[in-house]
């Protein structure tokens, strides 16, 4: 989809808001904010540095991401008077191809996700449990064909919509090889969705076949039941808890701070977060070592009560 900037300020003034008017019936998006513009009228190109935002399921702005695009100038409008005047132009830009929706599935505050590439017309459904019809309908409304149904792990509250979702879409199941899916996702393997690339990370602990899914271009991390907002997934014994600690530490090492975190349940104070925020505030990630992590897990009920957590 092409978005059209209605106003660009070509004199380099920073912080000017611009509006984008989608072409073709899409609902309006929030304004982006231009930080710097460099216009080269000789080649009819402009370098635009602007701030983009990531939203959670309630429309709350989570993180501001600065991006830079080179755009093609169309016919300029307005009067050019001097270098201090606003120069108005229109620019076409192909940066709205990402479709990413957090969907409240039901169950115990379960979240599932629709991730797609609008330009390619492809999408995947992630953990479409309890209400698979709603996931499939959202893909249809976005004009996307579902290529895979993905499970982060094999617990029934994340897999109970598989058969219905696959039946409605004809898409195969993609999951950890232990589930014997049609498309096994090994550790480190990429899953391509149009121009999007999902990196699959084996992160056991909460469940031995658990995967986290990381979309590298837009830095989206779907964590399933490994990492919640302010919390982590449950474990049944110390051995699993130690494994979970190692998996969490892998995320801390490999995932950048600006990545947004999208969990499998709405168990925290917000429906989503960032790696930087979790590293700074999640008590489990603040543990100095695995022994402190085990101690916090064993005393979690008391910790929550003492700190007013639910």
Do 83 and 218 share a domain, yes or no? no
Boundary (domain end) residue, out of 43, 73, 93: 93
Which of helix, strand or coil describes residue 293?
A: helix
Do 279 and 194 share a domain, yes or no? yes
Boundary (domain end) residue, out of 59, 93, 127: 93
| Domains in the chain, number | 2
| pLDDT of amino acid 42 | 52
- How far, in Å, CA of 97 to CA of 103, rounded? 19
| Domain of residue 192, CATH code | 3.60.15.10
CA dihedral (226, 230, 235, 238) in degrees, to 10, reads: 110
3-class SS string, 134-186: HHHHHHHHCCCEEEEEECCCCCHHHHCCHHHHHHHHCCCEEECHHHCCCEECC
Do 110 and 193 share a domain, yes or no? yes
Do 145 and 282 share a domain, yes or no? yes
| pLDDT of amino acid 97 | 86
Do 119 and 187 share a domain, yes or no? yes
Can you give the residue range of the structural domain that contains 246?
A: 98-307
| pLDDT of amino acid 308 | 83
Q: Give the chain's residues under pLDDT 70.
A: 1-96
Q: What are the residues whose beta carbons fall under 8 Å from the beta carbon of 43, sequence distance 6 or more?
A: none
Boundary (domain end) residue, out of 67, 93, 119: 93
Q: Which helix (H) or strand (E) holds 301?
A: helix 300-307
- Model-level pTM? 0.72
Do 104 and 87 share a domain, yes or no? no
| pLDDT of amino acid 309 | 80
Query: Which residue matches tokens 């609902």?
Result: 27
What is the per-residue pLDDT across 40-63, written as a single tens digit (0 to 9) for each? 555 444 454 444 444 444 444 344
What is the per-residue pLDDT across 182-214, written as a single tens digit (0 to 9) for each? 999 999 999 999 999 999 999 999 999 999 999
| pLDDT of amino acid 288 | 97
- How far, in Å, CA of 223 to CA of 232, rounded? 10
Query: Which tokens in the block code for residue 93?
Result: 């830009």
């Amino acid at each position: 989809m092409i978005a059209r900037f209605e106003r660009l300020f070509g004199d380099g003034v920073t912080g000017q808001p611009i509006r984008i008017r989608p072409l073709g019936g899409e609902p309006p998006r929030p304004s982006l904010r231009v930080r710097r513009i460099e216009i080269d009228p000789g080649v009819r190109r402009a370098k635009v540095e602007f701030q983009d935002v990531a939203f959670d399921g309630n429309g709350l702005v989570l993180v501001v991401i600065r991006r830079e695009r080179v755009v093609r100038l169309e016919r300029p409008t307005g009067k050019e008077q001097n270098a201090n005047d606003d120069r108005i132009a229109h620019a076409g830009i192909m940066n709205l191809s990402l479709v990413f929706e957090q969907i409240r599935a039901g169950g115990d505050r379960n979240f599932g996700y629709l991730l797609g590439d609008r330009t390619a017309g492809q999408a995947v459904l992630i953990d479409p449990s309890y209400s698979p019809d709603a996931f499939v309908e959202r893909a249809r409304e976005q004009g996307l064909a579902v290529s895979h149904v993905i499970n982060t792990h094999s617990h029934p509250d994340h897999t109970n919509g598989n058969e219905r979702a696959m039946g409605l879409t004809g898409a195969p199941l993609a999951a950890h090889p232990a589930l014997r899916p049609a498309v096994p996702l090994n550790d480190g393997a990429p899953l391509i969705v149009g121009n999007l690339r999902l990196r699959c990370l084996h992160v056991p602990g909460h469940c031995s076949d658990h995967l986290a899914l990381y979309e590298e271009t837009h830095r989206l991390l779907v964590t399933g039941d490994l990492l919640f907002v302010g919390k982590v997934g449950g474990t049944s014994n110390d051995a699993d808890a130690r494994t979970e600690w190692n998996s969490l530490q892998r995320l801390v090492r490999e995932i950048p701070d600006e990545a947004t975190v999208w969990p499998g349940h709405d168990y925290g104070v917000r429906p989503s977060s960032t790696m930087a925020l979790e590293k700074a505030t999640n008590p489990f990630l603040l543990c100095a070592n695995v022994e402190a992590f085990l101690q916090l897990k064993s005393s979690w009920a008391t910790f929550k009560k003492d700190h007013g957590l639910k």
